[in-house]
Structure 1
Amino acid sequence: MSSENSFDVVSAIDMQELNNAIQQAEKEIDNRFDFKGSKSSIQLDKNELVVISDDEYKLNSVLDVLHSKMVKRGISLKNLQYGKLEPAASSTVRQRIGLKQGIGQEHAKKINVLLRDSKLKVKSQIQGDQIRVTGKNKDDLQKAIQLLRQSDIDLDLQFVNFR
């Protein structure tokens, strides 16, 4: 009974939940008094959000509304990568926010080193944009999950396929 147990470490955003959060934020912006007559909007383009508003102050308010809706729907803000503020058409400002999907090479290497240095009896290997962690003892795998949750990696990690 020396079978290997494993789980996968992934980093992904639930796009349906993100869509719902954007729709809720736009509804609130349409109904709020301080946004009456403003040109504020949130759009989702493939792997980035585009937030447009009248000025920097209102753009920050739109982002606050969006962040609160995302947190309520269980979407981590760690997977957002903010671009710089840029002027847009008809005296508005725009900010592009990239969505981090998957675990990049530098984060994957950092996770591998973290698991290797922990002295747990687990092995990890990079498989595309996810990491497979294997070990004989389920308790070691649970400790590895705890270790990764407490680490300072700036990605929202999910643990799937625990077998």
Structure 2
Amino acid sequence: MPSFDIVSKLKKDEVQNAVDNANRELQTRYDFRGVEASYNFDKTKNTVKVEADEEFQVQQMDEILRMKLVKRNIEATAAEFSEITRSGKKSIQNVTFKEGIDKELAKKIIKIIKDAKLKVDAKINDDIIRVTGKKRDDLQATIALVRESKIEQPLQYENFRD
């Protein structure tokens, strides 16, 4: 019976490369000369810490990071930018990256599939949604349906089996 998995995975290597490229750009930009500004990526927490002297500099750094993420094929919806906080002489912002499908999002995706009345069956396995059906065309229609729906998290479709 044909099936596929809906997953949400983050390419941590690509995020690390984007952060490294953003740090390199900071070193070459004229408006950041003499400013202590940096990006720090924590792979265990999937967060990037953005630090600069002033709040407007952090906002500029956000744009640099977004551009570098897009160049590395990381969707903008994967990053969640927190409020800019002031800590002593530094302005700090944390950028959190979403990974995995939580229960609420999984239920929302399954509801979208069931409301479309496609001849497929969707089940939740931890942070993966397994979709099975009798026909390959039904599965492809399901992928198209989920792509069209307005979901705030990047999704990938894996293990397509006939």
TM-score normalized by the length of structure 1: 0.94
Unpaired runs of at least 5, structure 1: none
Which residue does the alignment assign to 2:39?
Answer: 42
Unpaired runs of at least 5, structure 2: none
Which residue does the alignment assign to 1:24?
Answer: 21
* Higher mean C-alpha deviation, range 15-24 or range 38-47: 38-47
Question: What per-residue deviation string (whole Å, max 9, x for no partner) do you get for residues 45-98 of structure 1?
Answer: 222111111112110111111110110110011111222211124x11001111
Which residue does the alignment assign to 2:76?
Answer: 77
Which residue does the alignment assign to 1:7?
Answer: 4
List, as ranges, runs of 4+ consecutive aligned residues in structure 1 with deviation greater than 2 Å.
none
CA deviation after TM superposition for structure 1 residue 127, in Å:
0.6
CA deviation after TM superposition for structure 1 residue 42, in Å:
0.6
Q: Which amino acid aligns with 1:135?
A: G
Which residue does the alignment assign to 2:142?
Answer: 144
Q: Distance in 1 between matches of 2:64 and 2:91?
A: 17
Question: What per-residue deviation string (whole Å, max 9, x for no partner) do you get for residues 89-139 of structure 1?
Answer: 4x1100111111100111000000000011110110011111111111000
Q: Which amino acid aligns with 1:67?
A: R
Q: Distance in 2 between matches of 1:104 and 1:39?
A: 37
Question: Residue 87 of structure 1: SS of its match in structure 2?
Answer: strand
Are positions 1:61 and 2:45 aligned together? no
Which residue does the alignment assign to 2:153?
Answer: 155
How many aligned positions are there?
159
* Higher mean C-alpha deviation, range 140-149 or range 38-47: 38-47
Question: Residue 151 of structure 2: SS of its match in structure 1?
Answer: coil
Are positions 1:127 and 2:125 aligned together? yes
RMSD over aligned CA atoms reads: 0.9
Identity of aligned residues (%): 39
Question: Residue 57 of structure 2: SS of its match in structure 1?
Answer: helix
CA deviation after TM superposition for structure 1 residue 44, in Å:
1.0
TM-score normalized by the length of structure 2: 0.95
